[in-house]
Structure formats: C-alpha cells, structure tokens
C-alpha cells in the first residue's frame, strides 16, 4: 500500500487579511514551480497539521495550505463573525489571486470535502482536479446522525456518547447542538472550555477504524477543542450555510473535473451513504469504499489519496 510522503517544512509562510476581522495563515511547501494544489482541512475550525503536507509528491506539487477563519494560526482565534461557507469560498479565491495561481487541484476531507465541492461548483474554471475524502454534504440527516439523540452514531460508540450526553441536562437533550452552543458561546471561559472538551471527546475520539473508547482523541488540547467545537456548532445550527441538497443538486457544474472520491466503509462521523449518493450523481468520478474509519490517516484511505494525487501529477506535470 502507498504511504505518506516524507515530512516536509514550508518554504514560505504568509498572512492574508481578508476583511476587517479575519487574517489567514497560509503556507506553501514542495516545489514552487510544481502543480498547484490546495489542501482544505476539516472541522470546520480544526486547522492544518504537519502531516497534511505529506499527501503530495513534494518534487511535483506546489502545496498550499491555510487555516480557515478562526482556526489554527489564523486570527482572531475561534472567531465566528463573518464566518460562513461562502466567506471561506471567497477566501480561497483571495488566496489563489494572492499567490498568482491560475488553476489548481483541490483536496479536501470531511468538512474539507464540503468546502471543496462548494468552491468547485462556484468556480469550476479554476479547478484542475478534485480529491475528496470522508464526504460530508451538510444534509439534515447527516447532522443529526452524529450529534443528536435520534441519530445512529450513539449506538456504535455508546461509551463516548454517554459522556457527550452527560454534559447536557435532560431537559435540553432534544437539541444537543443548540444545548452545546449555549455553553460554547458562554461569557464564562470555564463553561466554554468544559463544553469544548466534552464535544471534542465525542468527535475527536471517533475517527479511526480501531477504536479505543477511553482515548483522549484528537481534540484534547483546549485551544484546538474550542475552535473546532465553536465552529462546528455554529455551522451545524445554520445547516452549514447551504440550501437543502445543494451540493448534489449542482454536481453537474463539476462532472467534467477529474475527481477521486474515497470513503471509509466504517466511517461513523460521516456515514458512507453520503459518498454513495455523491458517486451515483457523478458517475465519471473514481469512487472507492475502503476498509477504514473517518480518519485521513487510516492506511487504506492514505493509499487511495496518494494514488489520486500521483495520478493528477502524472496527468498535468
């Protein structure tokens, strides 16, 4: 199976002010003269990690990564004013123009797949190829599946669900996202952090195929947990700022773009049905269901992602 490329450091970092509130952290890695590719991180609110640079051949790709509004090293931290899907789409275009890139490959997983689809459908003329992992279309059923009492995820990870549920009083549990939001938006920092940690334990520990019910997961850092939980609750309670079924409805705009879709069969956070529905609407896309969970680091997903980025480099370089 194919593995990640070796660790690499940015050859350039910069900041881009996109409005009166937000300033984005941007980094570039690999070959400055290579095929441009944009990496879109998940969450929303998660920010980029060093291993995200390793999905691309550094000799052939000019790798662009950025922390979305309120995430990672972008400032203000965890800021939700003027923070919607369409603000982020606008930011992507601002980055492309700032870097002097005419067209690029777009790579996104989980929430990053949502944002990649929204961007490509808005600006198809700017996209050379798409690599999409852990598909999330922002539909009501997807939102309720993982976070609400009538969803299905609680039946699979009952230990973690019990801790997630216990943070909210019984009389507020009919809408868990709203209940968490009230705490995540509290003026009391201790209340915000406690809610963020509970939210992060539920989601951040549920990503991999091999599950340890007692592991701290990927969001045990309070700084990270706050930005992810606040952004996710904000986006989820606004239906990720999309019209119903918008990304499926508008797939015709991007069907000509070379695309790979990969999804873990046992992805509990983003059920495989979303990837299946997208692939049925997009028969030209290469579609892979693999033995994996949600994590981009699961080996079977890494294998397909590296194969997809290598194939696009073969095509264009």
Q: What is the pLDDT of residue 140?
A: 93
**Confidence label for 189 from pLDDT (cuts 50, 70 and 90):** very high
Q: Residue 213: pLDDT above 90?
A: no
**Confidence label for 217 from pLDDT (cuts 50, 70 and 90):** low
Q: What is the pLDDT of residue 206?
A: 84
> In the chain, pLDDT over 90 holds for what percent of residues?
93
Q: What is the pLDDT of residue 210?
A: 82
pLDDT digits (tens, 9 = 90+) for 247-270: 999 999 999 999 999 999 999 999
Mean pLDDT estimate for the chain: 96
**Confidence label for 223 from pLDDT (cuts 50, 70 and 90):** confident
Residue with tokens 């690029």: 104
Q: What is the pLDDT of residue 215?
A: 74
The residue annotated as part of the active site, out of 234, 263, 288, 294, is: 294
Q: Residue 220: pLDDT above 80?
A: no
pLDDT digits (tens, 9 = 90+) for 68-116: 999 999 999 999 999 999 999 999 999 999 999 999 999 999 999 999 9
CATH numbers and ranges of domains, the chain: 12-138+241-316 (3.40.50.1820), 141-240 (no CATH)
Q: What is the pLDDT of residue 205?
A: 79
Q: What is the pLDDT of residue 280?
A: 98
Q: Read off the pTM.
A: 0.96
For residue 59, what are its two tokens? 């000799």
Q: Give mean pLDDT, residues 167-172.
A: 97
Q: What is the pLDDT of residue 222?
A: 82
**Confidence label for 312 from pLDDT (cuts 50, 70 and 90):** very high
The residue annotated as part of the active site, out of 22, 57, 91, 110, is: 110
90 is a catalytic site residue: no
110 is a catalytic site residue: yes
The residue annotated as part of the active site, out of 206, 267, 288, 295, is: 267
267 is a catalytic site residue: yes
Q: How far apart are CA 78 and CA 228, in angstroms?
A: 8
Q: Residue 216: pLDDT above 90?
A: no
Q: Give mean pLDDT, residues 52-80.
A: 98
212 or 283, greater pLDDT: 283
Q: Give mean pLDDT, residues 171-178.
A: 98
Q: Give mean pLDDT, residues 26-34.
A: 98
């Amino acid at each position: 199976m194919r593995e990640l490329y070796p660790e690499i450091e940015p050859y350039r970092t910069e900041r881009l002010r996109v409005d009166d509130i937000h300033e984005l952290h941007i980094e570039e890695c690999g070959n400055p003269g290579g095929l441009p590719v944009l990496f879109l991180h998940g969450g929303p609110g998660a920010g980029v990690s060093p291993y995200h640079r390793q999905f691309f051949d550094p000799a052939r790709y000019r790798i662009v990564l950025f922390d979305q509004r309120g995430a990672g090293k972008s400032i203000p931290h965890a800021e939700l004013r003027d923070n919607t899907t369409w603000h982020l789409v606008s930011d992507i275009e601002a980055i492309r123009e700032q870097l002097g890139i005419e067209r690029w490959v777009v790579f996104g997983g989980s929430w990053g797949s949502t944002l990649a689809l929204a961007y490509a459908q808005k600006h198809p003329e700017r996209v050379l190829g798409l690599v999409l992992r852990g598909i999330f279309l922002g539909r009501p059923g997807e939102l309720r599946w993982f976070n609400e009492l009538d969803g299905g995820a609680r039946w699979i990870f009952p230990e973690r669900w019990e801790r997630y549920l216990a943070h909210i009083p019984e009389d507020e549990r009919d809408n868990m996202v709203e209940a968490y939001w009230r705490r995540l938006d509290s003026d009391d920092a201790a209340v915000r952090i406690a809610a963020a940690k509970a939210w992060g334990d539920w989601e951040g520990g549920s990503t991999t195929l091999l599950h340890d019910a007692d592991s701290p997961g990927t969001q045990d850092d309070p700084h990270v947990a706050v930005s992810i939980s606040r952004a996710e609750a904000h986006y989820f309670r606004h239906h990720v700022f999309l019209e119903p079924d918008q990304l499926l409805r508008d797939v015709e705009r991007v069907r000509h773009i070379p695309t790979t879709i990969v999804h873990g069969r046992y992805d509990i956070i983003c059920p495989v049905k979303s990837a299946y529905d997208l692939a049925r609407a997009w028969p030209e896309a290469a579609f892979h269901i693999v033995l994996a969970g949600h994590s981009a680091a699961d080996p079977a997903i890494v294998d397909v992602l590296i194969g997809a980025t290598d194939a696009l480099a073969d095509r264009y370089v």
